[in-house]
Amino acid sequence: MKLLADAGIYVLVAIADPSHAINRASPVASYTVTNLQHYFRVVDDMARYSNTLGLVVANEVVNDHRSTAAVPQVLRAVTRDLKRYMRLHAELDGEDAVRDNQRGDEAGNSALAGEARQWTRQKISSPGMGRRRRVLPLGYSAPDVAMLRVPMFEYCIAGPEEEAMDFYAFNNFSWMGESSIEISGWNHLERAFSRTPVPVFFSEYGAQCGKPRIFRETATALYTPAMTRTFSGGIVYEFLMGKNLYGLVKLRRLRPRAISEGHAERLDSEREEAKNTQQSTEASQPGLGSIQTHVSDQKGESSENVPVAEDDKGSVPRTGLGGYVEADRNSDDAGVIEVLQKFPDFENLRKALIACRQLRNPPPALPSPKLERPIIDSDSGDSAVDNSAAGNRETTGGQPTATEMPAVLTRPAFPPMSRSWLANSEIPPSPLDWTEVKAQIMADGEWVDVAELVAGMSLGGNSDD
């Protein structure tokens, strides 16, 4: 993680592995103490790092109407338990930790600093490996199943904050080669998610129709105002070459280096075009340079400088929008990809996650945000909060105070049950004894897989003999 932080790379972490995951065939049976203990270990490992962007609770476990009968409820139950576990840690770590968490870890994840969007990168300062842990955003990565797309989204983010997800992502490969927002159907996606109260992004994109892939959607759609007003970018599928031949680069067995197949260079070119287009748009229309989050507009918002990787001499390497350090074209390593960095992919997502979290959960020492939207005085430019219920009106100039922070869009209602959507809002109770969990946290204990420990001891004994 330190190497990634030094390279300016933020990480989304999946909490499940093949041995500890929600089984769509028997979701309730897979909601066990053992699996939750594994998830908590992932939190313990990753919540200490300032470049951990968030946690993905599950990936593509709801893929047809039959799996909606019980899987969504288990997803919410796991989300509830993870949030409770992280909150327990924050409370036991003290009010300073709670404040730092809700402010988004200003050391590495502050999203509201700086006056204008800057296309430079900085190393991410990483906290020490102490006890203090962050409260991380939680989300779900869904398959692109048309009939489940909106119901699953609404179900994941609806209801109480204690069990609702903080971001939502889904895979989409409908853009094929030289397409458009209309032909690909992305205009329908933008309308469907336009009122989202949480960040939404593509967890996989980049259809393969010819080699190398041209990634025109990156330059002409995904990072244009038509999409960024709703979506927070996307993740290209995928980095390393696998059996499905979608990888941007492949690793050579004999020499430890990554060789591009042409996909990475094309993606780099399209990202550079997207960057130039966005900068030109912001220069001609300054209003578009403000933070593109899924909260109401507020005065004084500004964006964070995107991290940049520096070389040993302190200078910034030459990089394109994709973040690849340019190799010497005359050298033998001209095709070597030295660094892969997400450049604007998670810029909007990071800012939106932190802005939403701050508005929903203000620091304890500050007053709670009022739900009324501010009214802008067109003459003075000051913001006035409509507080008719209290019978008065507060007015301030300049940047909004905590009591004037605008509210995020409200979470939607649970989707109604139907033949294609079988989930209700009742989620299973936690199998954990939270008194024991709290005691282990206070003792700074660690969940231990006893079977794995015993097996390791046995192997160790045999090796000594």
For residue 339 the two structure tokens come to 């660094």
User: Which one, of 138, 6, 161, lies nearest residue 75 by Cα?
Assistant: 138
| Calpha distance 152→365 (Å, rounded) | 36
Distance of alpha carbon 327 from the chain centroid: 30
Marked catalytic residue, from 60, 261, 282, 372: 60
User: Which one, of 244, 251, 246, lies nearest residue 263 by Cα?
Assistant: 246
Distance of alpha carbon 237 from the chain centroid: 16
The secondary structure element, H or E, covering residue 153 is helix 146-157
117: CB partners within 8 A, 6+ apart: 282, 289, 303
Give the 3-state secondary structure of residue 360.
helix
The DSSP code for 376 is E
> Is 372 one of the catalytic residues?
no
| Calpha distance 153→311 (Å, rounded) | 42
> Is 204 one of the catalytic residues?
yes
In this structure, are residues 232 and 205 in contact, taking their beta carbons and an 8 Å threshold?
Answer: no
Q: Does residue 91 have a cis peptide bond before it, meaning omega lies within 30 degrees of 0?
A: no
| Calpha distance 376→130 (Å, rounded) | 44
What CA–CA distances, in Å, run from 338 to 76, 235, 324, 349? 39, 19, 6, 25
| Calpha distance 444→1 (Å, rounded) | 22
* DSSP sequence for 176-226: -SS--HHHHTHHHHHHHTTT-SS-EEEEEE---SSSS---HHIIIIITSHH
Q: Which one-letter amino acid corresponds to residue 345? A: D
| Calpha distance 435→198 (Å, rounded) | 32
The CA-to-CA distance between both ends of the chain, in Å, stands at 37
Residue 54 CB burial class (10 angstroms; 0-12, 13-18, ≥19): buried
| Calpha distance 394→336 (Å, rounded) | 59
Marked catalytic residue, from 154, 163, 190, 204: 204
Q: Return left, alpha or beta for 94; rule: phi > 0 is left, psi -120 to 50 is alpha, else beta.
A: left
For residue 237 the two structure tokens come to 């599928």
Active site residues: 60, 204
